[in-house]
Each structure stands twice: as structure tokens, then as C-alpha cells.
């Protein structure tokens, strides 16, 4: 496989990337660590690449897709909960009052997520998420959510795998929410998707075993939780990691501390026309320390506006 990858060297594996520094850096890194004659050659089993999801592989504006799922789910469930009409934060959800929803803070949002995500079996939850993704559209882009993945990043995932990297998602989002949606679109199997999780319990259920989703946090895969999650699930330090916010900083610090040649990538949202432009101070995907540290350490920063020819796969048509 090593030689196949090498012989493909003249094919452009990243056609949706402009020929700017970001693309050149990525290719130089991959060619170096896969070159058996390089002192920085990395064995196949150590070619671990970890990717944040929201804002790194797909859009996260105007709100995380999982929060939009939670709100849709609350509306569906409302038929069985007439009391929600007069009870916050549910009242605000039913009235599409985003300002009040966000003002309900961590406690309110956590309540909405727990009510919409738990109390059912893992199999039921998977089906609910899959039905939602098939029938829902993004509020401003007006396409199904799973079309809002970044075409250049799909190419990057594929390019790394063609060079025998094992690609993982390491997201602050819920692991079972992502697994229900993104396996096909990213070509990443469920066992390579890591995320935040709630506690679950096995129920023998008189011979029809199920796993029930409980309203209790198990693990938050964000900030310091990302290297902890990588260690827990993968047990190896990545040589490649990509993120878009300060919540990814510790993951990038972790791969940067690899004694093997490594690569750290930040996606900077700079395209207010084709996507969104935000960084410092943004309540979603805030990026400040990460940019400073990228600059200090020579990490590669993607300028979406200038480095990417297209944002979404449907722009290729």
C-alpha cells in the first residue's frame, strides 16, 4: 500500500484546495512521514489523525446542529407534554424564542438536551436521529444538515486514509448523535468516532436486551477532555490533529507533543459570504488562544475564504 500511495504522487488529492501554503504544508507533511527514506518516517500503526467535528468537518452556525436537533425533538415530544406550554425553557422552544433559550444558560440547555436525548434505548435514539437528518433542513442554508460538510476536509480525510492514516473524529458533540449521522458522509466507522457521552445501562429486558440512555453526563469530550478521550479510546498519541476553536487547543497540544513528526491544523472561519466569519469572542467556536498558539508554534491555519475553492460538496455540481 505504501508504494501505491507513492506512485499517486502526481494526482491532485486535494482539488478543492487552492495552491496556498496550507495545502503545501499538508502535502509536505504527508509525503515526509510516509517516505521510508525519511528520518521522519512514521509506521502505519502510528498514523493516527484526529479531527474535531463541529466547525472543522461541518458547519456549526447559527447553532450546533445537535442543539437544533434537540429543539426539533422537544417540539415533537410536546404533544405528550402539555405542561411545557407554560414551563421554561420548553415554552421558549415551542415559541421559537431563541433569545430566551440561549438566556436559559447552561442549566436550561442541559435540561433540553437531557429531555430530548435520554429516557429511550440506544436503538430508538439512533432511529430518531436518522429520521431527523432525512427530514430536516438547515434554517438558513435550506439543505439537509449532512450536506453542510466541508468538501476540502472530505478530500483531506480521504488523502490521509490513502496514505494509511487511521482517521478519527474527536468531538465535543454527543457520540451517538454523530454515529447515527456521519459514518457514511465521512467514511469513518462508528468505532472511530469519539465524543461526549451520557451514562447508559444494560437491561436484559426479559430476553430482548437493550441499552437505555440515562439523564446523566458520562464524559465531556472538550478542551482537556479531548486528549483524555483520545487516550481512553485510542490509546495512542495522534501525529495529525485538526480543530477550529479554543476547545481543540489541548488536543493540538497533545499531538504537538508527539516525539514523532506531527501536524496541527486550525480551520479559521473567514468567509462570511460562503459560510460564516467568526473567531475571538464567538459564543460558538470561539477561537483566540488557539490562533496565538498556532502563530507561536508554526501550526497551519486554514483561511477558509482564501484557501478553499469551494466550501460544500453541492458547490461542485
Between 214 and 284, name the residue whose CB sits nearer to Ca ion.
284
Shortest spacing between CB 228 and a copy of itself, in angstroms: 5
Between 38 and 257, name the residue whose CB sits nearer to a copy of itself.
257
45 counts as binding a copy of itself under rule CB under 8 A: yes
Binding test (CB under 5 A) with Ca ion, winner from 13, 26, 42, 52: 52
Three-state SS at 287 = coil
244 counts as binding Ca ion under rule CB under 5 A: yes
Shortest spacing between CB 176 and a copy of itself, in angstroms: 7
Q: Which three cell numbers stand for residue 23?
A: 495545502
Between 152 and 195, name the residue whose CB sits nearer to a copy of itself.
195
Binding test (CB under 5 A) with Ca ion, winner from 49, 55, 74, 226: 55
Residue pair 75/112 in contact (Cβ under 8 Å)? The answer is no
Residue 272 touches which of Ca ion, a copy of itself, none (Cβ within 5-8 Å per kind): none
222 counts as binding Ca ion under rule CB under 5 A: no
Q: How far apart are CA 143 and CA 148, in angstroms?
A: 8
Three-state SS at 200 = strand
Binding test (CB under 8 A) with a copy of itself, winner from 10, 43, 80, 201: 201
Q: Which three cell numbers stand for residue 171?
A: 468531538
Shortest spacing between CB 8 and a copy of itself, in angstroms: 21
65 phi and psi, to 5 degrees? -55, -35
Shortest spacing between CB 64 and Ca ion, in angstroms: 9
12 phi and psi, to 5 degrees? -85, 105
Shortest spacing between CB 175 and a copy of itself, in angstroms: 7
Q: How far apart are CA 152 and CA 26, in angstroms?
A: 12
185 counts as binding a copy of itself under rule CB under 8 A: no
Q: Which three cell numbers stand for residue 17?
A: 484546495
Strand bridging mode 300-303 / 263-270: parallel
DSSP 121-172: BHHHHHHHHHHHHHH---TTT-S-GGG-B-HHHHHHHHHHHHTTPEEEEEEE
Shortest spacing between CB 89 and a copy of itself, in angstroms: 29
228 counts as binding a copy of itself under rule CB under 8 A: yes
Site residues, Ca ion (CB under 5 A): 52, 54-55, 244-245
Amino acid at each position: 500500500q505504501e508504494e501505491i500511495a507513492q506512485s499517486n504522487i502526481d494526482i491532485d488529492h486535494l482539488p478543492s484546495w487552492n495552491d496556498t501554503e496550507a495545502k503545501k504544508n499538508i502535502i509536505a507533511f504527508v509525503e515526509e512521514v510516509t517516505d521510508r527514506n525519511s528520518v521522519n518516517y512514521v509506521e502505519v500503526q502510528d498514523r493516527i489523525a484526529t479531527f474535531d467535528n463541529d466547525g472543522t468537518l461541518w458547519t456549526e452556525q447559527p447553532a450546533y446542529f445537535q442543539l437544533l436537533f434537540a429543539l426539533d425533538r422537544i417540539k415533537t415530544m410536546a404533544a405528550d407534554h402539555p405542561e411545557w406550554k407554560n414551563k421554561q425553557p420548553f415554552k421558549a422552544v415551542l415559541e421559537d424564542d431563541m433569545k430566551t433559550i440561549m438566556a436559559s444558560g447552561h442549566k436550561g440547555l442541559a435540561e433540553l438536551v437531557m429531555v430530548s436525548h435520554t429516557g429511550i434505548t440506544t436503538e430508538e435514539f439512533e432511529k430518531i436521529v436518522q429520521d431527523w437528518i432525512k427530514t430536516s433542513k438547515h434554517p438558513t442554508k435550506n439543505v439537509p444538515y449532512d450536506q453542510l460538510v466541508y468538501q476540502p476536509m472530505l478530500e483531506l480525510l480521504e488523502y490521509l486514509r490513502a496514505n494509511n492514516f487511521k482517521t478519527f473524529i474527536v468531538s465535543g458533540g454527543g457520540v451517538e448523535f454523530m454515529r447515527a449521522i456521519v459514518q457514511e458522509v465521512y467514511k469513518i466507522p462508528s468505532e472511530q468516532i469519539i465524543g461526549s457521552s451520557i451514562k447508559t445501562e444494560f437491561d436484559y429486558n426479559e430476553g430482548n436486551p437493550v441499552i437505555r440512555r440515562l439523564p446523566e453526563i458520562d464524559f465531556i469530550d472538550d478542551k482537556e477532555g479531548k486528549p483524555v478521550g483520545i487516550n481512553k479510546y485510542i490509546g495512542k498519541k495522534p501525529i495529525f490533529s485538526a480543530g477550529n476553536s479554543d476547545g481543540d487547543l489541548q488536543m493540538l497540544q497533545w499531538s504537538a507533543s508527539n516525539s514523532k513528526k506531527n501536524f496541527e491544523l486550525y480551520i479559521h472561519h473567514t468567509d462570511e459570504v460562503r459560510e460564516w466569519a467568526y473567531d475571538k469572542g464567538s459564543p460558538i467556536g470561539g477561537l483566540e488562544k488557539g490562533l496565538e498558539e498556532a502563530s507561536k508554534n508554526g501550526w497551519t491555519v486554514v483561511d477558509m475564504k482564501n484557501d478553499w475553492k469551494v466550501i460544500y460538496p453541492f458547490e461542485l455540481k
